[in-house]
């Protein structure tokens, strides 16, 4: 929804240019998945081990494709699927305001290349949070057979710009792409929401429908897997549609943003700083992506 400007400003990426984007700095798609790829190799493919570990603290009974494959001998659930994960912002963005504030064309407007993102009152940054959740998510998806690419290689660099974050998904011909964020709104606000693209008479138009389906699947799995409520301050039933995010406007593959909650809310901040809860988020996102990719 075209929410109020004030609300919009509060939202994570929104602040300047959105949550979405990246590019200045030079993370190329090719080097993108380091953290993700190495961990996955340690947990040999099918791994009920890794999935077990991931679900251990949380969603019991979430049977994964990998587990099914392990017992049946069939291919892993996400074999042949390509998923691009975009960890919002970057830990080094504050060091290079010139690069980060450079204006880029997101078709409906010009926005900053990227933003620094928000942080909890205690200083745990959104960039660190999105990096951790994204690498956990990558590991789970790989264990289920997907090919995974991240839009940045670590959490101490700058960018990339939102335009490049979208381009990485496009070049990978991703079956699904997800940009992971957390919001920085007023402390009383809480809950999560999913952002999907709107038609803009541009390149994203053909995937608006699929992106909506992806958003619904992730909304449902996130609610179920994390127990967090729908956002109390943005969207309707945790669903928001926007045409001002470069990461969505420029995507030619099905793509959504997830705002995992409000880092300025004390209860949610405490959860986000708990590694077991971040794992719970990653499992929930993986389940939502898998539900979309398998249907
Ligand atoms: Zn953000």
Contact of 57 with 269, CB cutoff 8 Å: no
Question: What DSSP assignment string belongs to 82-142?
Answer: EEEEEE-S-TTGGG-HHHHH-EEE-SSSEEES-----B-TT--BHHHHHHHHHHHHHHHHH
Of 126, 164, 259, 268, the active-site residue reads 259
Joined together, the tokens standing for residue 51 give 């999935």
Q: Is 154 exposed, middle or buried (0-12, 13-18, 19+ CB in 10 A)?
A: middle
According to DSSP, residue 13 is labeled: G
Distance of CA 47 from the midpoint of ligand 1 (Å): 32
Length reported for the chain: 295
Joined together, the tokens standing for residue 172 give 């990978």
Contact of 117 with 262, CB cutoff 8 Å: no
Residue 126 a catalytic site member: no
Domains and CATH numbers, the chain: 5-293 (3.40.630.40)
Question: Average pLDDT, stretch 258-279?
Answer: 98
Instruction: Find how far residue 259's CA is from the centre of its chain.
Output: 8
Tens digits of residue pLDDT in 86-128? 999 999 999 999 999 999 999 999 999 999 999 999 999 999 9
Distance of CA 61 from the midpoint of ligand 1 (Å): 31
How many C-beta atoms surround the C-beta of residue 59 within 10 A?
A: 19
* Per-residue pLDDT at 65: 46
Confidence of residue 250 (pLDDT cuts 50, 70, 90): very high
CB neighbour burial string for 213-231, b if at least 16 within 10 angstroms, e if fewer: bbbbbbbbbbbebbebebb
* Per-residue pLDDT at 71: 54
| End-to-end C-alpha distance for the chain, whole angstroms | 26
Distance of CA 248 from the midpoint of ligand 1 (Å): 13
DSSP β-ladder status, 110-112 and 103-105: antiparallel
Q: Is the dihedral of CA 282, 62, 256, 160 positive or negative?
A: positive
Nearby residues of 222 by Cβ (< 8 Å), 6 or more positions away: 192, 194, 228, 238, 258, 260, 281, 284, 285, 288
Distance of CA 48 from the midpoint of ligand 1 (Å): 32
What is the distance between the alpha carbons of residues 151 and 219, in angstroms, rounded to a whole number? 22
Which of 185, 194, 195 lies closest to 233, judged by CA? 185
The CA distances from residue 164 to 21, 172, 253, 263, 289, in Å, are 7, 12, 14, 26, 22
Q: Is the dihedral of CA 105, 107, 112, 117 positive or negative?
A: negative
Confidence of residue 74 (pLDDT cuts 50, 70, 90): confident
What is the distance between the alpha carbons of residues 197 and 204, in angstroms, rounded to a whole number? 7
Which of 157, 140, 159, 156 lies closest to 148, judged by CA? 140
Distance of CA 71 from the midpoint of ligand 1 (Å): 39
Tens digits of residue pLDDT in 131-181? 999 999 999 999 999 999 999 999 999 999 999 999 999 999 999 999 999
Least confidently predicted of 64-73, 140-149, 186-195:
64-73
Contact of 177 with 82, CB cutoff 8 Å: no
């Amino acid at each position: 929804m075209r929410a109020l400007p004030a609300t919009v400003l509060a939202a994570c990426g929104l602040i300047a240019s959105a949550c979405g984007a990246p590019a200045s700095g030079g993370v190329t798609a090719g080097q993108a998945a380091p953290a993700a790829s190495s961990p996955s190799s340690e947990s040999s493919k099918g791994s009920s081990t890794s999935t077990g570990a991931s679900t251990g603290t949380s969603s019991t009974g979430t049977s994964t494709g990998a587990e099914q494959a392990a017992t049946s001998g069939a291919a892993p659930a996400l074999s042949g699927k390509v998923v691009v994960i975009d960890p919002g912002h970057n830990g080094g963005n504050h060091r290079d305001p010139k690069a980060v504030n450079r204006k880029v064309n997101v078709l409906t407007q010009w926005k900053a290349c990227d933003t620094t993102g928000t942080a909890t009152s205690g200083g745990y940054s959104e960039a660190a949070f999105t990096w951790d959740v994204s690498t956990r998510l990558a590991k789970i998806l790989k264990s289920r057979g997907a090919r995974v690419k991240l839009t940045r290689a670590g959490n101490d660099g700058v960018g990339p710009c939102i335009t490049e974050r979208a381009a990485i998904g496009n070049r990978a011909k991703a079956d699904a792409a997800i940009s992971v964020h957390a919001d920085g709104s007023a402390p009383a606000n809480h809950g999560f929401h999913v952002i999907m693209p709107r038609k803009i008479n541009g390149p994203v138009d053909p995937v608006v429908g699929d992106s909506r389906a992806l958003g619904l699947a992730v909304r449902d799995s996130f609610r179920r897997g994390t127990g967090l409520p729908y956002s109390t301050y943005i969207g309707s039933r945790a669903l928001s549609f926007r045409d001002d995010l470069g990461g969505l406007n420029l995507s030619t593959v099905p793509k959504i943003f997830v705002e995992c909650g409000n880092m300025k809310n004390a209860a949610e901040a405490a959860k986000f700083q708990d590694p077991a809860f971040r794992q719970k988020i990653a499992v929930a996102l993986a389940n939502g992506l898998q539900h979309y990719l398998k249907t």
